[in-house]
């Protein structure tokens, strides 16, 4: 249980501190992104161990505090492992991995919403403070406003990434059930995929 994932050494004494936890998570993010790149260049055999090593850390979420894109990346890594299992014709493993991706959606969506709420609360406090000290520290106020705008844009991008990853989960589930011979479930997930795509474009 004390072994560090993905080859990151465990410091003497167990290394249970928050900085080590954060470092392991950052390494998992890098491994997941490298695994995705390898898959996109048809290096699936090299991608698989990276994705598998990353998933346990990403899904646990330890060390993920305010890391942009972390929620969507966990879903994407599970999606990709599901694809690799399907490519090996291991339909049971593919369905199990995609089910895990499906189960990550609501927690991921809630995590992004919580970040948005926290960001809004901080913005409200800062705006109130700026109003009370109107005219003083204009440069600082402009800097704070720019930081808030950038942070809001990152959270919005994270929310969109979670939704996109979930839509892909639905699409892959349609394929996986089709490969498994379950036409009804395949059609159901195909319909859900199309509905989500229509909702995204306002159809």
Q: Answer whether 186's CB lies under 8 Å from 174's CB.
A: yes
Return d(Cα 131, Cα 135) in angstroms, integer: 9
d(CA 203, CA 194): 10
pLDDT at 71: 85
CB 115 within 8 A of CB 161: no
CA dihedral 182, 95, 109, 62 (to 10 degrees): 170
Packing angle of the helix pair 91-132, 138-179 (nearest 10 deg): 160
Residue 124 has a pLDDT of: 66
**Distances in Å between the alpha carbon of 196 and those of 27, 156, 164?**
32, 18, 9
Determine contact, residues 16/45, Cβ cutoff 8 Å. no
**pLDDT per residue rounded down to tens, the chain (203 residues):** 333 344 433 333 444 556 788 888 889 999 999 999 999 999 999 999 999 999 988 887 654 555 677 889 999 999 999 999 999 999 999 999 999 999 999 999 998 888 888 877 776 666 676 666 665 566 676 777 788 888 888 888 999 999 999 999 999 999 999 999 999 999 999 999 999 999 888 75
The answer to whether the beta carbons of residues 61 and 84 sit under 8 Å apart is no
How confident is the model at residue 11, as a pLDDT?
35
Query: What six digits make up the tokens of 181?
Result: 């011979």
**What is the C-alpha to C-alpha distance for residues 159 and 116, in angstroms, rounded to an integer?**
9
Q: For position 62, what pLDDT does the model report? A: 53
For the record, the structure tokens of 76 come out as: 């994407």
> Which candidate, 87, 49, 103, 110, places its Cα nearest to that of 179?
87
């Amino acid at each position: 249980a004390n072994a560090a994932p993905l080859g990151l050494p465990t410091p003497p004494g167990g290394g249970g501190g928050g900085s080590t936890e954060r470092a392991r998570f950052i390494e998992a993010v890098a491994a997941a992104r490298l695994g995705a790149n390898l898959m996109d260049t048809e290096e699936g055999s090299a991608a698989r161990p990276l994705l598998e090593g990353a998933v346990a850390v990403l899904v646990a979420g330890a060390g993920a505090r305010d890391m942009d894109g972390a929620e969507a990346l966990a879903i994407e890594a599970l999606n990709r492992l599901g694809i690799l299992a399907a490519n090996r014709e291991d339909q049971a493993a593919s369905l199990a991995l995609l089910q895990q991706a499906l189960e990550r959606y609501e927690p991921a969506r809630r995590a992004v919403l919580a970040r948005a709420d926290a960001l809004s609360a901080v913005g409200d406090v800062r705006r109130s403070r700026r109003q009370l000290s109107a005219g003083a520290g204009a440069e600082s106020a402009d800097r704070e406003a720019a930081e808030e705008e950038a942070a809001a844009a990152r959270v919005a991008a994270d929310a969109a990434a979670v939704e996109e990853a979930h839509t892909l989960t639905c699409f892959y589930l349609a394929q996986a059930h089709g490969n498994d011979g379950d036409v009804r479930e395949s059609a159901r997930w195909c319909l859900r995929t199309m509905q989500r795509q229509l909702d995204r474009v306002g159809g």
